[in-house]
Amino acid sequence: MKYFICLAILLLTFSGSANEPSEIRIDPPHWWAGMNYSSLELLIEIKLKSNENYIISEVIGNDISMVKDEEAQNRDYHYVTLNIEPNAPSQKLKIMGWRMGDNSRVPISITYEFKSRRKNLHEFIGLDQRDLIYLVTPDRFVNGNKDNDIVKGLREKTINRNEGFSRHGGDLQGLTSHLDYIKSLGASAVWTNPILINDMPVYSYHGYAITDHYKVDPRFGGMKAYKKYSRELHKREMKLVMDVIPNHMGTYNRLFQDPPDSAWINSWPLNSDLDERGEVDSTALTNHRYTSIFDPYAAPIDKKQFTDGWFVHSMVDINQRDQRCSNYLIQNSLWWIEEVGVDAFRVDTWVYPDQNFMDNWSKQIHKVFPNFFIFSEAWVHDGSSQRFYFNENKTLDGAADFMMYSSWKDALENPTTWNSGLNAFYKNLGLDYQYKSPSRFITFLDNHDEGRFFGKIKEDMSLYKMGVAMLYTMRGIPCLLYGTEILLKELDDHGKIREDMPGGWVEKKGDRNAFNNSGLSQDERDALSFVREMAQIRESYPLINTGSFRHWAPYDKVYAYCWYDDNEIVLILMNRSDREEIFDMNRMTELSFKDIKIILDTQLQMDFNESERVSKFNRVELGSNGLKILHLTR
């Protein structure tokens, strides 16, 4: 009763002339009961006149109380810390305060909601070795709604599909409408390049210059489209992988334009005037020397330039060492997981932020969501560096395997010699002993930052099938870049590499369309069919990526690896030679077997459903640049 009397008095006191919620911004915009998160720090922003200030005096709620209210360096912002009891219910809090001028005192009254958590939202959370990720650049996949191509009030005002760095109009509605197509490729998870708003004057399509951490870009369809996309993925038992960027943000982000504290930004103070491209020329850029973090001889200035230098002139480097900024980023990540039902994070430019922060960030996420999966982009060029950035963070679940990517390039782009080609791949895989969990690496033949796989192998269909078959059967969690399945092949700049998906902009009957198989060349149709065949093989033989793994050193340019248990073996053989070669089955020694079935031969027109050919042999013939998959019964 005492609680309700006090609440009634306060509501009467703060009624009438209180500030309207539209004048006030709070990050996070709301929270949830039962989140296993006991201390929430609200960032409250009220735009003040020069002679004004404000205080937050009380938070009224059930089992939720205010610990402290602290004014930021920028008086428009306050940090309000809430203590949340474990049994605090869903409710609408009242945040009370006063806005004061020279001769005025106006009450502030804000409603802040603690929502109920949705049941079954996290039913598919996390990734494992049986997943396959499909990577999409949303602006370049499908234009599902032309009405959001250009949004009034945003800085980039044009659509130009002939220009690689302009927006092309793809959106979440278009992506959602083709999830069945994506699933047909064997994908159980979809990773999109960032979908948060990038209100930048140019190059806004790629998403890596976020200008509001709590807003989906309206040109992608906004929050409503993102939530529908999440629901449709989960209906298909597929997973949502969100691209997050703790290292930097766009120069038009309010946290740079009018930050709570200058300590949130690295390379401060600086001239914050922007040119017509949204760039700042007066700040130092990073030196990209990622080894400086663990180099025992590194000069302090080199370390500082690496961590504090900006990635590019239009992307503000964030200082995660500031505790307030750190809290903001952690809470923002937790908010998106719960708001939309995100199942995994891909973390952009992992090596550049403060590594102590990254360790704490991932720990806090796993504390609330134990089964969540986080994998890093640590783009390094040697195994020792990859080991450091993967192993040192104990709660980092996976990492993009750039060492395997490099060795795949060597194996499929170069001839096999003692130290190159398949031997380079074999030796790289042998270094897995140094990683804490190599089975959780994300493997890929190409990505959104490098030239297309089919172009790199000089449009050789034999090598294409070899690469795709290896991707779908190698250790780790495979990731297929959109369009690889229909032989997209650009090699030049990022704008061209992230080319439009054929079928996403159908203008007339007969246009090239991957989604209904029309207008494609014979090679493109064959490639799409082959990817689906590999998806069927991977689905039909769950031993792949779950059994024990073994490989054999390349002899005569033939490399072999297998998955096995007590009952069966799936054996993959490849010949990286221009002539026919042999694999001697006697090399399998203690992996004894009885029956052999050919699952796949890339050099034969052999449908998966016709793979009941049973033979007994000790020597397997392999056609030039050919790959075979065999199933052996033990």
Is residue 55 within 8 Å of 97, Cβ to Cβ?
yes
Is residue 142 within 8 Å of 179, Cβ to Cβ?
no
Per the annotation, the verdict on 377 as an active-site residue is: yes
Residue 175 lies in a domain: no
C-alpha distance across the termini of the chain, in Å: 74
Give me 384's structure tokens.
């020792």
Q: Which of 212, 217, 343, 348 is catalytic?
A: 348
Question: How many CA within 13 A on the CB side of residue 589?
Answer: 3
CA distances from 597 to 357, 527, 565, 572, 624 (A): 51, 23, 17, 12, 21
Dump the DSSP string for 191-235. EESP-B----SS-GGG--S-S-TT-B-GGGTHHHHHHHHHHHHHH
Residue type, 554: P
Residue 399 lies in a domain: no
| pLDDT (0 to 100) of residue 604 | 84
CA trace torsion 582, 587, 591, 597 (10° rounding): 10
Give me 63's structure tokens.
């089992």
Domain boundary among 115, 136, 153: 115
Is residue 497 within 8 Å of 483, Cβ to Cβ?
no
Residues 6+ apart with CB under 8 A from 304: none
Strands 239-244 and 344-347: parallel
Residue 37 lies in a domain: yes
In DSSP terms, 555 is beta-bridged to 558
What is the pTM assigned to this prediction? 0.95
Task: Report how far residue 61's alpha carbon sits from residue 7's, in angstroms, rounded to the nearest whole number.
Answer: 9
Question: How many CA within 13 A on the CB side of residue 352?
Answer: 26
Show the domain range for 603.
548-633
**CA angle at residue 286 from 284 to 287, to 5 degrees?**
115
Residues 6+ apart with CB under 8 A from 121: 338, 341
- Cα-Cα-Cα-Cα dihedral sign, residues 445, 448, 453, 456: negative
We report the CATH number of the domain holding residue 591 as 2.60.40.1180
Is residue 591 within 8 Å of 564, Cβ to Cβ?
yes
Cis before 29? omega within 30? no
Task: Report how far residue 412's alpha carbon sits from residue 134's, in angstroms, rounded to the nearest whole number.
Answer: 22
Q: Which of 354, 377, 524, 601 is catalytic?
A: 377
Task: Report how far residue 496's alpha carbon sits from residue 309's, in angstroms, rounded to the nearest whole number.
Answer: 28
Radius of gyration of the chain (CA): 27
Residue 256 lies in a domain: no
Residue 16 lies in a domain: yes
| pLDDT (0 to 100) of residue 283 | 82
Give me 383's structure tokens.
């195994």
Residue 141: which of 486, 386, 373, 532 has the closest Cα?
486
567-583 as b/e, with b when 16 or more CB fall inside 10 Å? ebbbbbbbbbbeeebeb
Residue 199: how many other CB atoms lie within 10 Å: 22
Residue 26 lies in a domain: yes
Task: Report how far residue 13's alpha carbon sits from residue 16's, in angstroms, rounded to the nearest whole number.
Answer: 9
Residue 422: how many other CB atoms lie within 10 Å: 24
Is residue 600 within 8 Å of 465, Cβ to Cβ?
no
We report the CATH number of the domain holding residue 86 as 2.60.40.10
Dump the DSSP string for 125-151. -S--TT--EEEE-GGGT----GGGSS-
Is residue 211 within 8 Å of 199, Cβ to Cβ?
yes
Task: Report how far residue 601's alpha carbon sits from residue 430's, in angstroms, rounded to the nearest whole number.
Answer: 26
Give me 453's structure tokens.
């796989």
Task: Report how far residue 134's alpha carbon sits from residue 377's, in angstroms, rounded to the nearest whole number.
Answer: 16
Low pLDDT (below 70) residues in the chain: 1-22, 268-272, 605-616
| pLDDT (0 to 100) of residue 12 | 40
Residue 298 lies in a domain: no
Burial (Cβ within 10 Å: 0-12, 13-18, ≥19) of residue 408: buried
Domains of the chain: total: 2
Report pLDDT digits (tens) over 509-538.
Answer: 778 999 999 999 999 999 999 999 999 999
Task: Report how far residue 321's alpha carbon sits from residue 327's, in angstroms, rounded to the nearest whole number.
Answer: 10
Residue type, 97: G
Residue type, 25: R
Report pLDDT digits (tens) over 442-466.
Answer: 999 999 999 999 999 999 999 999 9
> Which residue matches tokens 């700049």?
493
Per the annotation, the verdict on 52 as an active-site residue is: no
Question: How many CA within 13 A on the CB side of residue 524?
Answer: 17
> Which residue matches tokens 């049994």?
87
Residue 141: which of 157, 156, 161 has the closest Cα?
161
Domain boundary among 65, 95, 115: 115
Helix (H) or strand (E) run with residue 107 in it? strand 105-115
Report pLDDT digits (tens) over 191-243.
Answer: 999 999 999 999 999 999 999 999 999 999 999 999 999 999 999 999 999 99
Percent of the chain whose predicted confidence (pLDDT) is above 90: 89
Give me 94's structure tokens.
């009242």
Three-state SS for 259?
coil
Domain boundary among 71, 93, 115: 115
Residue 63 lies in a domain: yes
Give me 205's structure tokens.
């399509």
> Which residue matches tokens 């306060």?
10
Strands 31-32 and 105-115: parallel
Residue 12: how many other CB atoms lie within 10 Å: 9
